[in-house]
């Protein structure tokens, strides 16, 4: 009779997992983070599908400012009502979400790429080059970030997506560079890096194959916290009239239109309420996800 081998103790099973496997396990245990991730996944799919199925540009001036419900003029059901041009606010909210999320993700990606490369080079080089590069970062930290963004968008006559990507992304990399530099300084003296040097690996190979994969955990966590910050900044710029321009729209621009539609005589509450709800819940979900990732990658929470 064959006796099955006993299962390994829980501590050994945990110790046998890689950092990424253990981080995923702890992330899935965080209910707020998993619900937020599922919400964001559904939102992204809806932002792609809804504007494709429902025309967000179709205008019915006779049906402007109609409350949520069925419209006798257009013969259609508008769950979020219509705006000042009779356009379906439901479709425009999801189209605006597509633009807002795209700006947040692309600007964050630009900042992460620049900051990761900059910080890894400074940390691995060390010495005078490291001091020079980080003093440059300190100087940029002293410059008012939002003032530079406003100046760029004022100078650029045609404000499209690319200038906003550049304005928001090119100055977000400073903190990422500091995080990556600190992680590289902590890892470059470890045994696996010394072993790579011993076998003759080049500096670029050590950076790309050995150091960067080990520092990506904190970078991913910070990126999830950067996305809501960028989305909120774009909403602020659009509210000022310096962000997204028609025929495109975003949650910030929709909120700006809703604020202008408010008046003491007639309150079109749906014009402002629904874009603000989309913006608020998305920022909340991104922050919950970022907090969950931070806890998942925290080495202090990993069982030995």
Q: What pLDDT does 219 receive?
A: 86
Residue 78: beta bridge partners? 69
The architecture in CATH of the region 30-301 reads Orthogonal Bundle (1.10)
Taking the alpha carbons at both ends of the chain, their separation in whole angstroms is: 35
Annotated domain spans of the chain:
30-301
- pLDDT of the chain along its 304 residues, tens only? 444 444 444 443 345 566 667 778 888 888 888 999 999 999 999 999 998 888 888 888 888 888 888 888 877 888 998 888 888 999 999 999 998 898 888 888 888 899 998 998 888 888 899 899 999 998 888 888 778 888 877 777 666 677 787 778 777 888 889 988 888 888 887 777 778 777 877 777 777 777 777 787 788 888 888 888 888 888 888 777 777 777 788 888 888 888 887 776 777 888 889 999 998 999 899 889 888 887 777 655 555 4
Its pTM stands at 0.79
User: According to the model, what pLDDT value does residue 95 have?
Assistant: 93
Provide the H-helix boundaries in 66-126: 89-125
Q: What is the pLDDT of residue 196?
A: 76
CA–CA separation, 71 and 55 (whole Å) = 16
Q: Closest by alpha carbon to 215, among 107, 302, 299, 286?
A: 299
Which phi-psi region, left, alpha or beta, contains residue 66 (left: φ > 0; alpha: ψ -120 to 50)?
beta
């Amino acid at each position: 009779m064959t006796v099955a081998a006993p299962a390994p103790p829980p501590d050994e099973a945990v110790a046998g997992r890689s950092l990424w496997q253990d981080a995923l396990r702890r992330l899935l245990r965080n209910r707020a983070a998993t619900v937020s991730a599922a919400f964001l996944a559904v939102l992204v799919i809806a932002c792609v599908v809804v504007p494709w199925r429902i025309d967000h540009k179709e205008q019915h001036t006779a049906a402007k400012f109609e409350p949520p419900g069925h419209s006798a003029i257009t013969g259609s059901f508008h769950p979020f009502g219509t705006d000042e041009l009779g356009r379906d606010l439901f479709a425009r909210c999801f189209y605006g979400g597509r633009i807002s999320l795209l700006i947040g993700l692309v600007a964050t990606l630009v900042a992460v790429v620049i900051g990761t490369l900059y910080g890894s080079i400074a940390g691995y080089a060390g010495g005078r080059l490291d001091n020079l590069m980080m003093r440059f970062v300190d100087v940029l930290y002293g410059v008012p970030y939002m003032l530079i963004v406003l100046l760029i968008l004022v100078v650029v006559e045609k404000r499209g997506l690319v200038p906003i990507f550049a304005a928001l992304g090119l100055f977000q990399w400073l903190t990422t560079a500091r995080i990556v530099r600190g992680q590289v300084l902590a890892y470059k003296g470890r045994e696996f890096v010394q072993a790579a040097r011993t076998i003759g690996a080049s500096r670029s190979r050590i950076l790309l194959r050995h150091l960067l994969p080990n520092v990506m955990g904190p970078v991913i966590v910070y990126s999830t916290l950067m996305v809501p910050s960028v989305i909120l900044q774009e909403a602020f710029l659009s509210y000022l009239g310096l962000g997204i321009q028609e025929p495109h729209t975003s949650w910030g621009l929709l909120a700006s239109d809703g604020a202008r539609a408010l008046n003491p005589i007639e309150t079109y509450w749906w014009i402002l309420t629904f874009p603000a709800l989309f913006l608020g819940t998305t920022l909340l979900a991104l922050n919950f996800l970022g907090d969950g990732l931070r806890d998942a990658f925290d080495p202090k929470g990993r069982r030995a």
